């Protein structure tokens, strides 16, 4: 049995802790349109639509750094729209405080930019419980690359086990690539499992986190 201080719980942000209205499908469509206009890549739209957004940007970067910068401009524009009227997920702040009280180490891993992330966390009273935060301004490789988990783990000394908590296949794939356990949240379990991802647990209410035995042997 582990001590809670030896367990890291790394949370996703969008649609895990906050209800944003970021239209990720629209972002993908706009990025693919930029790729097509630039003559890259040769993959079909169907294939491109199932990629994570950072993976699409990487396709653009391989073609032209200027194209990648235009793609990031689109992402920022859509993020700002989606975060403008964001609301906290039910019970999120209370659950974070309770997990912190129980001495778990808390991390946040998001592909959003740092200033917008910290502003939302502060506005919803969720900043204080986190021991470490990683945004796209902090790590070179974004989810589903495992670098963010490695980055956070290095800033949480003494941790022996890591869980990633998120709502999407991107979070699940990140956890698996990092050798962490994945706790899925929300209504998209079937979609995530269809990607071949096998969560350690799946919840539909953040309060269920308090019933999970994260420190099990």
Is 129 in contact with 100 (CB distance < 8 Å)? yes
pLDDT at residue 13 is higher than 90:
yes
Longest Cα pair distance anywhere in the chain, in angstroms?
55
Q: Which two tokens stand for residue 41?
A: 């890549």
Same domain, 67 and 102: no
One domain, residues 150 and 123: yes
Strands 18-19 and 87-88: antiparallel
| Last residue in a domain, options 35, 61, 84 | 84
- Same domain, yes or no, for 92 and 191? yes
| Distance (Å, whole) CA 80 – CA 60 | 22
Q: Is 188 domain-assigned?
A: yes
- Give the mean pLDDT of 3-31: 96
Is the predicted pLDDT of residue 20 greater than 70, yes or no? yes
Residue from 86, 130, 136 nearest 111 by CA:
136
Domain limit, last residue, from 65, 84, 103: 84
pTM (whole model) above 0.85: yes
Give the integer Cα–Cα distance in Å for 8 and 24: 28
Residues 63 and 138 in one domain: no
Q: What is the pLDDT of residues 137-157, one digit of tens each?
A: 999 899 999 999 999 999 999
The count of residues in the chain is: 217
Q: Do residues 197 and 131 both lie within one domain?
A: yes
If asked whether residues 157 and 63 sit together in one domain, one would say no
Predicted confidence at residue 151, as pLDDT, reads: 97
Tracing tokens 């998120």 back to the chain, one arrives at: 166
Contact 105, 161 (CB under 8 A): no
Domain endpoint, select from 84, 113, 129? 84
Same domain, 65 and 12: no
Please say if the pLDDT value at position 217 is more than 80: no
| Residue 41: predicted pLDDT | 80
Q: Residue 182, by phi and psi: left (phi above 0), alpha (psi -120 to 50) or beta? A: beta
**Residues 165, 29, 34, 44, CA torsion sign:** positive
For position 153, which CATH number holds?
A: 3.40.50.1000
| Structure confidence by residue, pLDDT tens digits, 182-213 | 999 999 999 999 999 999 999 999 999 999 99
| 71 and 113 together in one domain | no
* 119, part of any domain: yes
**Is residue 67 assigned to a domain?**
yes
Residue 43: predicted pLDDT: 87
Residue 13 belongs to a domain: yes
What separation in angstroms does the CA of 60 have from each of 78, 128, 183, 186, 193?
Answer: 18, 37, 32, 31, 29
Residue 103's pLDDT band (boundaries 50, 70, 90)? very high
Q: Are residues 53 and 126 in the same domain?
A: no
Same domain, 71 and 103: no
Q: Judge whether 216 lies within some domain.
A: no
Q: What is the Cα 181 distance to its own chain's centre?
A: 14
On whether residue 76 sits in a domain, the answer given is: yes
How large is the average pLDDT for residues 177-181?
A: 98
Q: Average model confidence (pLDDT) for the chain? A: 95
- Calpha distance 19→13 (Å, rounded): 9
What is the predicted pLDDT for the residue at 40? Answer: 82
Residue 217, domain member (yes or no): no
Residue-number span of the structural domain to which 53 is assigned: 24-84
Three-class SS of residue 19? strand
pLDDT at 216: 86
Instruction: List the structure tokens of 95.
Output: 């659950």
| Domains identified in the chain, total number | 2
Q: Is-contact 74 34, C-beta < 8 A?
A: yes
Is 15 inside any structural domain? yes
Percent of the chain scoring above 70 in pLDDT: 100
73: which residues sit within 8 A by CB, 6+ positions away? Answer: none
pLDDT digits (tens, 9 = 90+) for 115-135: 999 999 999 999 999 999 999
Tell whether 79 and 184 lie within a shared domain: no
Q: Label residue 114 by pLDDT band (50, 70, 90).
A: very high
**119 and 12, same domain (yes or no):** yes
| Percentage of the chain exceeding pLDDT 90 | 91
């Amino acid at each position: 049995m582990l001590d809670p201080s030896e367990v890291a719980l790394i949370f996703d942000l969008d649609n895990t802790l906050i209800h944003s209205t970021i239209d990720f499908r629209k972002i993908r469509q706009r990025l693919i349109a930029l790729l097509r206009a630039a003559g890259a890549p040769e993959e079909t739209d169907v294939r491109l639509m199932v990629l994570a957004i950072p993976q699409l940007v990487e396709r653009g970067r391989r073609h032209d750094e200027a194209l990648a910068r235009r793609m990031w401009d689109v992402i920022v524009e859509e993020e700002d729209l989606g975060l403008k009227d964001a609301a906290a997920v039910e019970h999120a702040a209370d659950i974070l405080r309770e997990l912190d009280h129980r001495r778990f180490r808390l991390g946040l891993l998001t592909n959003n930019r740092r200033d917008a992330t910290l502003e939302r966390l502060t506005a919803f009273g969720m900043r204080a419980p986190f021991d470490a935060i990683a945004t796209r301004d902090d790590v070179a490789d974004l989810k589903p690359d495992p670098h963010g988990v490695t980055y956070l783990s290095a800033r949480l000394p003494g941790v022996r086990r890591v869980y990633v908590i998120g709502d999407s296949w991107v979070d699940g794939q990140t956890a698996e690539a990092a050798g962490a356990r994945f706790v899925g949240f929300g209504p998209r379990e079937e979609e995530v499992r269809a990607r071949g991802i096998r969560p350690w647990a799946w919840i539909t209410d953040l309060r269920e986190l308090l019933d999970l035995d994260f420190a099990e042997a």
